[in-house]
Structure 1
Amino acid sequence: MQINLSGHHVEITTSLREYVDTKFSKLARHFDHINNVHVVLTVEKLNQKAEANVHLNGSEVFASAVNTDMYTSIDTLVEKLDKQILKYKGKISQH
Structure 2
Amino acid sequence: MRINISARHFRASRNLKNFTEDEVKRLKKYYDGIIDCEIVFEKQKEIRSCEIMLKVYGTRLTASERTDDHFKSVVGAVDKLENQLRKYKSKLRNQRNGRSETKIPLGS
Find the counterpart in structure 1 of residue 3 from structure 2: 3
Counterpart AA for 1:67: T
What RMSD in Å do the two structures reach over aligned CA positions?
A: 0.7
Task: Give the distance between the partners of 2:86 and 2:9, measured in 1 at CA.
Answer: 32
TM-score for both structures, normalised by structure 1:
0.97
Kindly state the Cα deviation for residue 26 of structure 1 after the two structures are TM-superposed.
Answer: 1.0
Q: Which consecutive unaligned segments of at least 5 residues does structure 2 have?
A: 96-108
Between structures 1 and 2, the one with greater helix share: 1
What SS class does the counterpart of residue 16 from structure 2 fall into? helix
Q: What CA distance in whole angstroms lies between the structure 2 residues aligned with 1:68 and 1:12?
A: 15
List, as ranges, runs of 4+ consecutive aligned residues in structure 1 with deviation greater than 2 Å: none
Matched, 1:28 2:28: yes
Q: Write the distance in 1 (CA, Å) between the matches of 2:23 and 2:10.
A: 19
| Residue of structure 1 in register with 2:82 after alignment | 82
For 2:16 and 2:65, how far apart are their aligned partners in 1? 16
Alignment of 1:51-70 (within 5 A): 51-70=51-70
Cα deviation, residue 23, structure 1: 0.3
| Whole-angstrom distance in 1 between the partners of 2:10 and 2:19 | 15
1-structure distance, mates of 2:6, 2:94: 36
Paired residue total: 95
Shift of 1:29: 1.5
Larger Rg over CA atoms: 2
Say which SS state the counterpart of residue 77 (structure 1) adopts.
helix
How high is the TM-score relative to the length of structure 2? 0.86
Greater relative contact order: 1 or 2 (C-alpha under 8 angstroms, separation 6 or more)? 1
